Amino acid sequence: MAAKKNEQHPLRIEGYGSAGEGGARLEGQAVFVKGALAGEICQVQLLKVGKSAAWGRVTQVLTPVPGRQSPDCPRYPRCGGCQLRHMTYAEELRFKRQKVQDALQRIGGWTGRVEKIHGAEAPDRYRNKIQFPVADGPRVGFFRARSHEVIDAEDCLLQPLAATRLREAFKLWMERYQVPAYDERVHGGLIRHFYVRVNQRGQSLCAVIANGTDLPHQEELVQALRRAEPDLAGVVLSVNQEKTNVILGKTHRCLWGRDYLEDTLCGLTFRLSVPSFYQVNREQAEVLYGRALAFAGLTGRETVLDLYCGIGTITLVMARQAGRAIGAEVIPAAVEDAKANAARNGVTNAEFLCADAAQAAQTLADRGLRPDVICVDPPRKGLAPAVIDAIVQMAPQRLVYVSCDPATLARDVKRMEEQGYVLQRAEAVDLFPRTAHVETVVLLSQQKPDDTIEIDLDLGELDATAAETKATYEEIKAYVWEKHHLKVSSLYISQIKRKCGLEVGQNYNLSKSENPKVPKCPPEKEAAIMDALKHFQMI
């Protein structure tokens, strides 16, 4: 009998889904259970039953595991900011490492192992940028999970205490002067978001995102914020009068102080304006970029290309150990910030161009640029096929891929493998403790014949196979090219013949390398060779 909505069942939780929900099975169907931990037996109420999966919630933990803890936030799990506060941090790291491992194996087809996950020394109060949505009330806080309902939040364990103090002063200003909140349903009202950025030194920068070009009682707001936070560096008005879910407006005006902060990352100083992209966890970003630099294997002579460079953080980190570094970014303001950051840090071997990743990679490829190392840190959607094509055309020896989404990373790893790149190493870095997000850095290397195996060919054996095989290697190659328009090597043909149980000669010699790495026949070429073997009645 098929499971039905609202039924309750005792289920053993076998693992985790990508968002940290427990994974179980009921009558052969996958069930994803929010709030359940791997290894537990839970009483689960089914909330939704689909054709291939069901979703439920825990009504009682029948057999808990040591990885469970009592949530330390009164708004959890109503608030959508955290997903994992019912887990110990050790269990969270175990889940995240496995999440990356599963994606690379199941989607990417990788048989290796994620070497480690770098956990945070401070899993709380790490965020250096907070954007509070504002609603009628006023309510200044965070969105309820999977909704646009604003939950008023006096504090958040992910944000620094400076943001807590500034948020309280801002809310009191709205209350005292009856400043209306924005209502997205009617595109009316004024205040959309309140923004706080904090640097390593404890200085703060505030921005008010408004559906208008001016604020009432502006001076009173500035004074209230300055009293709340003595290390306040500036207050900015961001004008957003569009019907959009985009938070920041396109124009920014400084109301008091300065419109930027400076912060130090990996020994470099960066200037951060309100719209500047900057990793929200500075300490863990240093770990992430340090691992990317280690994977790049720079000696001081290489040319490095950094796609999706933002304000130039990775580019400048790489430039210090490279001969030349080039960053590409589509946002003009970010490119100007990157150039200024290079000048501010005295980095003279870095240059930046304004173009999207595909255009930049293709432009540089057309110029004949052959970078030794390419580094990519794309948005969640990963690399577009055009970007992958341009990277392959430039043929870097190494590709360092920094990813915020293991699934799209794994998809792109598979695509790069089909173009001759092999995943060598993978590590995870926890930039977002208490949430289901995890960063990954991987190293892919170009697999060239000279790098993998030395081959001694016996042409006689290649061209005159045993009589019962019915076709020579050259005839198989010709058939595959004519029908499938694919070039296949004798090595690939030998691999597939062995796979089919056919006898082959000793066509290559592995004795010259202690640990030879043999290129593996790609799936599409394997299918073409199989077709040829069937055509020649060899199988």
Q: Active-site residues: which are they? A: 404
Question: CA-to-CA distance for 257 and 222, rounded, in angstroms?
Answer: 10
Q: Of 300, 346, 290, 299, nearest to 323 (Cα)?
A: 300
State the helix-helix crossing angle for 473-484 and 523-535, rounded to 10 degrees: 110
What are the angstrom distances between the C-alpha of 355 and each of 304, 351, 397, 478? 17, 13, 23, 42
Question: CA-to-CA distance for 261 and 234, rounded, in angstroms?
Answer: 9
In three-state secondary structure terms, 464 is coil
Give the torsion through C-alpha atoms of 71, 74, 79, 81, to 10 deg: -50
29-34 and 22-26 beta bridge pairing? antiparallel
Give, as one character, the DSSP assignment of residue 266.
Answer: T
Q: With contact defined as beta carbons under 8 Å apart, do 46 and 24 qualify?
A: no
Phi, psi of 224 (to 5 degrees): -65, -40
Q: With contact defined as beta carbons under 8 Å apart, do 454 and 444 qualify?
A: no
What are the angstrom distances between the C-alpha of 214 and each of 191, 240, 350, 476? 11, 11, 40, 74
Q: Of 423, 454, 450, 427, nearest to 439 (Cα)?
A: 427
State the helix-helix crossing angle for 161-177 and 218-228, rounded to 10 degrees: 150
Give, as one character, the DSSP assignment of residue 80.
Answer: S
Q: With contact defined as beta carbons under 8 Å apart, do 113 and 423 qualify?
A: no
Task: Give 403's strand partners.
Answer: 440
Task: Give 144's strand partners.
Answer: 79
Residue with tokens 């009645």: 537
SS3 sequence of 203-216 = CEEEEEEECCCCCC
Give the N- to C-terminal CA distance of the chain in Å, as an integer. Answer: 45
Phi, psi of 248 (to 5 degrees): -80, 150
Based on DSSP, count helices (H) and strands (E) in the chain, helices before strands. 14, 23
State the DSSP H helix or E strand holding residue 288, giving kind and residue range, or none if neither.
helix 282-296
Give the torsion through C-alpha atoms of 121, 125, 128, 132, to 10 deg: 150
